[in-house]
Amino acid sequence: MEQTHKHKKLYIKTWGCQMNVYDSNRMVDILSALGYKQVNSPEDVDMIILNTCHIREKAIEKVFSELGRLRPYKQAKESKGGKMLIAVAGCVAQAEGDIIMKRAPYVDMVFGPQVYHQLPEMVLKASSDERVINTEFPTISKFDSLPDEHTIEGASAYLSIQEGCDNFCTFCVVPYTRGAEYSRSAREIIDEAHRLVDQGVLEIILLGQNVNTYHGAGLNGGTWKLANIIRAISEIDGVERVRYSTSHPRDMSDDLIAVHGEIEKLQPFLHLPVQSGSDKILESMNRKHTADHYREIIARLRKVCPDMAFSSDYIIGFPGETEEDFEATMQLARDVNYASCYSFKYSSRPGTPAANLKEGIVPDHIASERLARFQALINEQQTAFNQTCIGRTPPILFDRKGKKPDQLSGRSPYFQSVYVQGNERLIGHIIPVKITQAFDNSLTGEIEIYEDGSKD
Ligand code: SAH
Ligand code: SF4
Ligand code: F3S
């Protein structure tokens, strides 16, 4: 009798930062070797993975509520005699693995961000009804055993070059969930970049929790820094754009600032989280830089690359923040004038040093009111920045279809989302677009001429 080969179905839901997005894609790659194929709905699948984020409050509650929503799918499958594995991965799994094992007995696998390369063994165990918890920090890096094959959608791809963090900002869980800092070798990174380009990738976004602390084995002995990696990646034929994220102001070294003036492919936009504009608060956060140090970095970058634009992360309402400290934060944002910016109300995370601060706790309604004032300022800046693009014709990298019919979505050099009406064949190309309208969070424009010289 002829047997039809059937793929197993995998549903993955991802929260958190771009590192988690990268990790989810890599899990898909590992599991594809075991016959799994990613699908968009949890119905009737063979495996569910929740790749979780622990950065702010209610992280574990979100995971339990999602598990509660998904559990009936598992019950439905099992009542028909089938099997569905449920896994919780990522930073909540790392931090709260034991609680998840206890409170959700229908979860089959719990594992942290540094061990997902062991998925084949873990799946084998879980398939024979042995529950798996794996929150080790292995001595051999996962990068040594990830598959070469990549599932890439679109023309822009993340490439993880550095992981973990040794900075221990007092509010942050990352050093505990991701572990100590680790840099991949230049050889591995360059090989991975070549494989991405072979699949049609035009833009490479170098990733790390602290990407500019990168210090890995160079190509010919010695240690390379991020600036060396940027140079090497931009020299690869087929790479049109390079970005990197996320950086720490303390590690914006001279050589890194210099490459912004030298390498055309390095895009004129930088996400540089600062967290606060008050030196007192920055010190209490253990950020190891001042507000003026940050201003100076921005000024130096604008000097080598005059059209450079910036985004940042700010925490509002950190313990000890007075109205005066908050005004210093507003002033820093005014001085920088951001193209976009994220801001969050401080959220106390158990186990971090700031969770023990007892003095100057900012009442919630005051933190909310300050956050609203800050976000109003940022909205103004963002809208004004977007307005300056009207009438210009920046090159847009089209990476996917838009939500409306015949609509395409792409990114400008400043990482703005740009929507146009256009033929799908433009996906995976960089085309000049005349910007016609600006909104708070996106731009629209018209394609004047296609790269082959045609008009439609
Ligand atoms: N590695 C990056 C960002 C890590 S987390 C850096 O060094 O800046 C992303 C953002 O979440 C942070 O920049 C910070 O603004 C925010 N964040 C982290 N912990 C937080 C907390 N306890 N409360 C509120 N926001 C937090
Ligand atoms: Fe967290 Fe600070 Fe490390 Fe960023 S640098 S990941 S905010 S500890
Ligand atoms: Fe969240 Fe972990 Fe990233 S806590 S922000 S997913 S490193």
Domain range annotation of the chain: 8-134, 142-387, 395-447
89 C-alpha to center of ligand 1: Å?
20
- Which two tokens mark 369? 């009111």
- Model confidence pLDDT, tens digit, residues 311-368: 999 999 999 999 999 999 999 999 999 999 999 999 999 999 999 999 999 999 999 9
Q: Tell the burial category of 359 from Cβ atoms under 10 Å away from its Cβ (0-12, 13-18, 19+).
A: exposed
Which tens digits make up the pLDDT trace of 399-416? Answer: 988 888 889 999 999 999
Cα–Cα dist 381/387, whole Å: 10
Say which residue the tokens 């703005």 belong to: 416
What average pLDDT does the structure give for the chain?
A: 94
In CATH terms, 8-134 corresponds, of 3.10.20.600, 3.40.50.12160, 1.20.1730.10, 3.30.429.10, to: 3.40.50.12160
E-assigned strands of 59-181? 85-89, 109-111, 132-134, 156-160, 162-163
C-alpha 209 to ligand 2 mean position (Å): 7
Architecture (CATH level 2) of domain 395-447: Beta Barrel (2.40)
pTM of this structure: 0.93
Q: What is the mean pLDDT of residues 162-187?
A: 96
**Architecture category of domain 142-387 in CATH:** Alpha-Beta Horseshoe (3.80)
SS (H, E, C) 187-256: HHHHHHHHHHHHCCCCEEEEECCCHHHCEEECECECEEEHHHHHHHHHCCCCCCEEEEECCCHHHCCHHH
Question: How far apart are alpha carbons 187 and 2 in whole angstroms?
Answer: 45
Asked whether the bond before 213 is cis by omega within 30 degrees of 0, the reply is: no
Evaluate the CA torsion angle 272, 278, 279, 283 in order and state its sign: negative
Instruction: Calculate how far, in angstroms, residue 331's C-alpha sits from the geometric centre of ligand 1.
Output: 20
Residues 6+ apart with CB under 8 A from 242: 203, 204, 205, 206, 230, 233, 234, 263, 265, 266, 267
Question: For a substitution probing ligand 1, which of 284, 297, 315, 375 has the most ligand atoms within 8 Å of its CB?
Answer: 315
- For 117-121, 245-249, 362-366, 452-456, which range has the lowest pLDDT when averaged over its residues? 452-456
Confidence (pLDDT) at 142: 86
Q: Minimum-distance ligand to the CA of 169? A: 2
With both helix axes pointing from N to C terminus, report the angle between 323-336 and 364-387 in degrees, rounded to the nearest 10. Answer: 10
